[in-house]
Every structure is written in structure tokens, then in C-alpha cells.
Structure 1
Amino acid sequence: MAAQMTDAHRRFLQVLMSHGIMEGSEARKLHRRCCEIHKVYYAHDKLDDFISTINSHLQPLFMQIRKGMSEGDGRAHYALVNLAETEITKMASDYTENELELFRKAMDLIILSENGFASSTEILNLADQLKTKKMKKKEAEQVLKVFVEDKWLSERNGEYTLHTRCIIEMEQYILSNYQDVARKCNICHSLAIQSQVCESCGIAMHLPCVRKYFRAQTEPRCPQCNDFWSCDIPGTSRMDSQSPSKTGRAEKSFILSPRRC
């Protein structure tokens, strides 16, 4: 039998819905505040149990609060996911057909890239090739800005990647539609877009997971096949000072092959 839903749970859900996604520390603060306001028992280490109660009541509505990780810094995030709509069509009520087509093309570039990023130039060059309705580059720039504001894309130094919200919400869609390249991190078992790949066995690891895993190792060896990990370890090499376009990207290639470091 599911635990009872209280006003504290309802308030938490309402705030999360308004944000779309929330960083772990913010979610913990919200958890405490909701419990204090509605005088419900609070324990600092029971956030996941608190969310499980909400999820048990969301299940008949095909909704779920899911936990994911920022590929940039490894921090936990929570997002409300609509399980009944797993494809990009869930965005259809917010965007026009040609805006959605631009998003799909940007997603293709990002997922099929060597390092999980696509430059603004690469994306904007596709604006006048849309089948639904061609876009001018100025218009496409504004659409990309909206995708960033709505937390579907992230931008850094003119390079775009999938926002944590997008990865959490569309994990199953991406795994199904990009089977030859999409893979889960060997450490945290979440979808890995920005990742390093073992040259011997092909497993992938998020950069924060790479950093954390090899911190305790005297010699960097693959956790799967035990071969030497030839990629630069983030935080221990020149890699961290490079821009996204140089962190492990060889010449741009859209061959369906694993990302290499």
C-alpha cells in the first residue's frame, strides 16, 4: 500500500512542475521547507523516500519524478517526466513543426558527434535545409536561445549539448532511436552523451564518473576489461583547460561509431 500523500508532497510536486528540473541541493532545501511549512516529519536523508511516495501517486497518471546527473559537473538533478509520451512529440504543444525539426537535427549533431557537442555554426547551417519550413539564421538563433531557456539544450562558448532535463526526459527515446551510438555509463548506468569510451571493449563513462572512478586508482584501467585507459582523465591533464570543441574531438564524423577520447 502506498504511503499517504500529504500537503508537503503536493507542494514539492507543484514547485518541481513549475521549474521542470531542479538541482539536488535545491530539491533537498525544498523538501525541508515543504515539511516545515506543513508540519510533516522531516529527515535530511529521506528525500528519495519522499519522492517515492509522490511517484506512487503519480503512477496512474503515467508521470514520474526521475533522478539524473549533470554530465558537466556530476551533480544530481530531479525532473518530472511524462511516461505516456516518450518521443520528441511531447514538445509539440510548445513549438512549431520547423522548430521541432531544427531540434531533431541539433540532437542528431550532438549525439552523433565525437564529444557530445555541436557548434552553433553547424546547427545554424541546417536552418535553410528544413523540410517543414526553411528558417533564416537569425530566426534559428532565437529558436536555439528558447531551447536553452526551456532547458532542452545547454550552451557553452558557442557549443551546444543536451541539457540534463532533456537527457532525463528522453533517455528511452534516445536509446531506442540511436542504438548504434547511444550507450549508458558503466559507472552510474545513466545515458552518457558526453563520455569517454574504452578503446578496447567500448564501454562508456561520463566525464565526472571517470574523474571519480580513477581518483582511487593507482593506474587508470578500464573497469570492464582492465586494459589501460588511454583517455585524458579530467582534472589531471590539459583536458580541463580546453574548450568543448577540443575535448577529445577528432575530425567531425557522422559515422555510427563509439566516441573516442
Structure 2
Amino acid sequence: MSRQMGDSHRRFLQAMMGRGITDEQGALRLYQHCCETHKTQCAPDKLDDFIDTINSKLQPMFMQIRKGMSEDNGQQYYALVNMAETEITRMTSDYADNELELFRKTMDLIVSSENGKASSTEILNSTDSMTSKKLKKSETEHLLNRLVNDKWLCEKHGEYTLSTRCIIEMEPYIRAMYQDQVKVCHICHNIAFQCQICENPTCGIKIHNPCVARYFKGRTEPHCPACDDFWPHEIPEVRRPHTKSRR
């Protein structure tokens, strides 16, 4: 049952419109601040209920504050997303047609890769097959920097991945466009790009690295949760969430 939206909800929504995305700790701090400012009750375990009230009012506008997980560190994030069923809707007002085409090509490279990454060289080479106005090398580099700054992509050591914001925002688009390529994590059931894969050819499940760390923690002989084959990959350590983090 939907509750009435008050000033604390409106302040929270206004802040999310400015941020676009925030991690769970940031959302909790914002929730507490909004409740204290407008002298309303605040319970940390009621954050999702608080957001559900906002979402009930956003639904007619095809928008939603959606929760998702970072493939990099396993933290939960909240993102304000556009749910209108049009291709890369939220980006069309900020990027030109040829810039959007290159973003799609970058997404193609990332989705089709084994490790969920695309190198800057691969992306630069993909401009040769553009059907719209081709981008120069300097323009491509500038665009990639913009996509990182706008939190659509992440970059590390010259390799690009889809950001947490991008995956949360575009999950329906990604599932529809890459339905034969996209797999979900066997543990959390979210889309999996940066992950470990079972080497049993009849199995081949994917598990996010943070999910691997949590699932196999303390197990001396890790076995695949689906086929029970030995899990040969290095088990990463569980990463503690940072107190101040935004992607």
C-alpha cells in the first residue's frame, strides 16, 4: 500500500536527480538527512519502503529508483533510471548520433568479450565500421572520457567496462539486445560480465567476482554450485564497503 509522499521524499528525489547514482551507505545518509531536515521518522531498515513510496509517484513518468550491485566490489547501489521503452533513452539528449553509435559498439565489444572489458585500442578500431559520421581519434578519446565522467563506463589501465549505473539503467535494453550472449550470475541472478566461469563445458555458469568471494569464503576445496566440479579459479577476498564511494 502506497504511503503519501512528503517533503522528505521530495528532497531525496531531488538529490537523486542530481547524483544519478549513489551507493547504499550514501543512500542511507541521504535518507537520514532528509528525515532530519523535515522532522520525520527515520528507520535504517525502512529505506526500501521509503524509496517504494517515491517510486509509486514516479511510475506515471516512466522513472524509478532502482537497486543494483557493482560487479567490481559487490556493493549495492541505487540509481534513478529512465524506464521508457526506447533505445538508450536517457543518453539521447546528451550525445550526438555518432557518439551513441560508438557507445553501442563499445557495449558490443564488452558484452562479447570473455572478461567483460574492451580495450581503448579495440574501441578506436571500431570507429572504422561506423555508419554515421566517423569520429577522429581525439574525438573518440574525448567521448570515452565523457562516458566515464557521466558514469556510463568505467576505465582502468586502458580497459573499459560497463559502469554500475549503466547496467542498472540499461538492464532491459541489454537483455533484449544481447539475449543470446548475456548470462546471469548463478549466485545473485544479476547480469554478469566481470565474472568467473565454470570450466566444465557442460556447465559454464558465471559468478561475479564479489559473489565468488562471499560464496566460497572459508571453503578449503571450492566446488561449482551447479555441477559440483572443482572450482579452479583464484578465490578473491571479500571486500569491505567504503564509507564514501560513488560510481
TM over 0.5: yes
Residues 19-50 of structure 1, C-alpha deviations (whole Å, 9 max, x = no match): 11111111110000000000010012211111
Q: Which runs of 5 or more residues in structure 1 are unaligned? A: 237-261
Rounded to whole Å, the distance in 2 between the matches of 1:162 and 1:146 is 14
Structure 1 counterpart of 2:243: none
Rounded to whole Å, the distance in 1 between the matches of 2:8 and 2:40 is 7
Residues 182-232 of structure 1, C-alpha deviations (whole Å, 9 max, x = no match): 111111111111111222312211110011110043321111222211222
Identity %: 62
Structure 2 counterpart of 1:24: 24
Asked if 2 retains the 8 angstrom alpha-carbon contact of 1:86 and 1:169, the reply is no
Q: SS of 1:47's equivalent?
A: helix
Structure 1 length-normalised TM: 0.87
Rounded to whole Å, the distance in 1 between the matches of 2:127 and 2:190 is 31
Which 4+ stretches in 1 moved above 2 angstroms? none
Rounded to whole Å, the distance in 2 between the matches of 1:221 and 1:86 is 42
Tell me by how many angstroms 1:109 deviates.
0.7
Rounded to whole Å, the distance in 2 between the matches of 1:192 and 1:119 is 19
Rounded to whole Å, the distance in 1 between the matches of 2:219 and 2:57 is 43
Rounded to whole Å, the distance in 2 between the matches of 1:179 and 1:197 is 18
Rounded to whole Å, the distance in 2 between the matches of 1:97 and 1:36 is 44
Asked if 1 retains the 8 angstrom alpha-carbon contact of 2:186 and 2:206, the reply is yes
Specify the code of the residue in structure 2 equivalent to 1:94: D
**Cα distance, 1:86–1:195 mapped onto 2, change above 3 Å:** farther
Asked if 2 retains the 8 angstrom alpha-carbon contact of 1:22 and 1:77, the reply is yes
The equivalences for 1:49-198 within 5 A come to 49-85=49-85, 87-198=87-198
Structure 2 counterpart of 1:235: 237
Specify the code of the residue in structure 1 equivalent to 2:33: R
Q: Matched residue pairs, number? A: 236
Q: Does residue 182 of structure 2 align to residue 209 of structure 1?
A: no
Q: Which runs of 5 or more residues in structure 2 are unaligned? A: 239-247
Rounded to whole Å, the distance in 2 between the matches of 1:85 and 1:79 is 17
Tell me by how many angstroms 1:86 deviates.
5.1
Structure 2 counterpart of 1:258: none
Rounded to whole Å, the distance in 2 between the matches of 1:89 and 1:199 is 37
Asked if 1 retains the 8 angstrom alpha-carbon contact of 2:22 and 2:78, the reply is yes
Q: SS of 2:68's equivalent?
A: strand
**Cα distance, 1:216–1:4 mapped onto 2, change above 3 Å:** farther
Asked if 2 retains the 8 angstrom alpha-carbon contact of 1:153 and 1:166, the reply is yes
Greater mean deviation of Cα atoms: 18-27 or 127-136: 127-136
Tell me by how many angstroms 1:89 deviates.
4.0
Tell me by how many angstroms 1:138 deviates.
0.6
Rounded to whole Å, the distance in 1 between the matches of 2:129 and 2:62 is 36
Specify the code of the residue in structure 2 equivalent to 1:231: H
